Structure 1
């Protein structure tokens, strides 16, 4: 799934060229936002009904999704701290914000409902945490750039 997308991106980049891609950046960005919105709405199908029936069950998975995202960010940043602040924060951010919704595309149809619920709700921190943690990221980035910083 990912490899095919990377290959397609390389082919498109080669065919269109850097100059045209630069001119098309805003339309591509807008299309990405629309596609992400469609994906987010589709992946949450049934979550509202489940929340109305069993809110605590859904909230536990929301908390687990946020905890997993933050933990993966911390592990990724800690593992690459020797590279300096900016690379460590970048790796940490990317480590926590894995689009686990892609796993839904390859999971068997008879997967456990709770696994499907977790992968759907794991999208929430991807959308929320960058806005919430943005000031902290900027503050940490403004610190010393030394590898021990």
Structure 2
């Protein structure tokens, strides 16, 4: 039985990337299952963080840290620059006209660190994911410092948690996940972890499936009750992700195109689930709906942008040669 489970996890790990895009549609198609899974969203986020820390390639990060200027610039832009630009847009349109629920959604979508699957998406596109990996880990580390600052700026008293409370909740999630991963790494050993990489990938896919299904709670009902509004909100989440991606691509165009795209894609795929878990999984209805439909661009953009990436990076290679 154990061998069968191990073989199943390994198979999922090797072939499960395409299943991730399908998982969000499973959640929409099975609303009762999504409602059942929703209480486990926080646990799935914690487990995904633990696996992400467990799989961190320390050698790859060390290589990137030898030339830290690009990494530091990308980190500053991702965790402060992009959210502050969003704050500027909120001030331009007027916080009162947007409403606190939509402002909270914009905060979650721009102040969160990148999803820890971002390096995997970069590798899926045929690019080097080490810069994305280093950036994702660094962004996670600074989130308890930057997110409360941005939250206080954007929302003030409307922030669901106090600034200190948000910092503590984020720190508990991150430190706890790191501690568990550290203990597992010591117990298993590096050699065994390397041998079971496909099994860990399979478990990661299953946890992402649980997360995606849980996140879709209420989406089917919203599509049925207000299809135009829900489609419009989904379109806005794509627009926000693409704006972050394109602005980052332009900003880091002096770097190599492969590095610029790795930073841009990482910036455009935010780990909103971490912020939701920090808030205890309770959000206003509109904010939750944004978070839910905001998973569509995260899971679908790697497939949609693959032709663009091939042309974009090929032009860079031709210029070099």
Q: Does 1:126 align with 2:310?
A: no
- TM-score normalised according to structure 1 size: 0.85
Match of 1:51 in 2: 223
Root mean square deviation of aligned Cα: 2.3
Counterpart position of 2:289: 117
Structure 1 residues 106 and 19: CA distance shift in structure 2, 3 A: same
1:24 is aligned to 2:196: yes
Contact 1:73/1:96 (<8 A) preserved = yes
Runs of 4 or more consecutive aligned structure 1 residues displaced over 4 Å after TM superposition:
none
2: CA distance, partners of 1:95 / 1:145 = 23
Distance 2:249 2:286 in 1: 29
Say how many residue pairs are matched: 147
Structure 2 length as normaliser, TM-score?
0.42
Structure 2: stretches of 5+ with no match in the other structure: 1-172
Q: Specify the structure having the higher radius of gyration (Cα).
A: 2
Q: Deviations over 1:59-99 (max 9, x none)?
A: 11100111111111112222222221111110001000112
2:248 maps to which residue? Answer: 76
SS in 1 for 2:249: helix
Question: Per the alignment, in what secondary structure is the counterpart of residue 45 of structure 1?
Answer: coil
Contact 1:65 / 1:118 at 8 angstroms: preserved in 2? Answer: yes
Distance in 1 separating the partners of 2:295 and 2:245: 15
The structure whose RCO (Cα within 8 Å, separation 6+) is larger is 2
Q: Which moved more, 1:8-17 or 1:48-57?
A: 8-17
